[in-house]
Structure 1
Amino acid sequence: MDTATYSHDDLPARAEAYVTVAAALDWLRTHADEQPELAELARHVGLSESHLQRLFARWAGLSPKRFLQHLTGEKARAALLAGEDVMGASLSAGLSGPGRLHDLMLSFQAATPGEIKLGGAGWVLTWGLAATPFGLALLAQGPRGVVKLAFVDDGHAQAWAELQRDWPAARLQRDDQMMQLLAERVFGGFQRLEPVHLFVKGTQFQLKVWQALLQVPEGRLTTYGELARRIDQPGAARAVGSAVGANPIALLIPCHRVIRGDGGLGGYHWGETRKRALIGLELQHRQDLASVEVVRG
């Protein structure tokens, strides 16, 4: 199966595969000190050894045994650090995934104060649930572009409530099929020339942070402190962290590219495993996986 492009019908299977491999990654991290055999891992995720081996290699680009080696002792820790204590090349041991995010053209627009005050009055926002390679997601799109992309592993009630809160006067209509087609465009091969339009509302500070995030190239990482310096507020790392966490559009506004200054992965609204997966995906598309750089302002 081609890992760069895939059809609409492939997406549910890809989503299920992500859940399985994510569970395998989590279990290996928890049991790394025990150096478990493949058979133990296969029993945990409910697959045969051969099926798990193929699935894991397709997503991660290496075997479960090889991934386990990345988790062993201080050598694994050192492999995750590069330069000034910033996570480095061994994050390529994360899920390589089927997408090509660097080919996606984005157009970012912010709601005006008047539009924020109106709360979407007179607008129709189409929303729905869609299978993606990184799990089930809620997507929503309005006349100005995508307003919401949130992963919903534990149900979509929270994401739905956030959508209603952000656009209280808009008419919301559900169309899962349309949002599945949007998901295919976002997570597929991106061999189209037209951009994906993003339309967001936030404080001026949040907008500055989100715009700065869009300047962090694929396959590179930055820190909360560096991001604060990029927006000329070097003492605002904690506030930057809050703005990163408030990002309404997962993946496309790439908050997953921000880590702690000490090289730790840091938090992620949609889970640490998914953050590792996204970083690993992007590193897969860099020619030199051994030189992840910190983005400087």
Structure 2
Amino acid sequence: MNLRRLKYFVKIVDIGSLTQAADVLHIAQPALSQQLATLEGEVKQQLVIRTQRGVIPTDAGKILYAHAQAILRQCDHAQSAIDGAGKALTGHVSVGLAPGTAAQQLALPLMEEVQRQHPGIILYFNENFGTTLSELIMNGRMDMAVIYDNRQIHGLRFISLMKEDLFFVCPHALGSPVSSVSLTEVAGFNLFLPRIYNIMRKVIDDAFIRQGIPYRVSCEIESQTTLNGALAAGLGCTIMPESAARAMLEPAGAWMAKIINPEIRTSLSFCMSDHLPLSQPAEAVKDILLALMAPRSNDNTPLMLAG
């Protein structure tokens, strides 16, 4: 396959229109259509369906689109490494930080340190949930992420950074502060939790199921702003890792208590592809990120920043 045709194909899918893609690529539409037809001939599959509203990828087109993005990204990395040989590092590096985690405290220190050591590197931060970030890494569309997870997943490599206890976060309107609370007591409140594909939700669900304790999830919320507002209004409670729980106490008008009987822990990990090599700028950012983290594999101390 020709790299130029792959670039054309990705642009066509991104824009959803042959006419508009031709304008953006500064080529005639008939020529772009011919390049697409040639690519379809090479892969022996129809890649897009033309409709009155534009073009949409077929199932085969969706598969090629994901691979093409990874291929083009690696080509960009290779070119960047060649261009930067013997020079200061430059280029874009994408870092995922799962929301509601200690990882969010890492963004500003990482920005400052990257700017100090490698001012030519441009960071792109994506705050999304762990499942989405790990899929982006597997597809070659993101370089690295810090998420709550450490499972064995084909295509990914995890480096354990720290462990955190889970805490019950309750608005003052629904109860008086205590230092610890049992899982049975937590089950007596309406809970706001993320959706079931979120690794944090899985950890919480598993804890309740193992203890045979029924519980109520009154709303599934994945927006920190909405969650803070719901707690501040006294509508329910939530469960968070310690660092994330502390960060929401003031905006949510809440208090936090360690969950005991049983204690529940989750692992914060650095995640990257196990087969797609990082570019030189991404390797540099990885080294800085890992240096900023203070791994504490045997305790649940909140995120510490070196220096």
Same fold (TM over 0.5): no
Select the structure of larger CA radius of gyration: 2
TM-score if structure 2 supplies the norm length?
A: 0.25
TM-score if structure 1 supplies the norm length?
A: 0.26
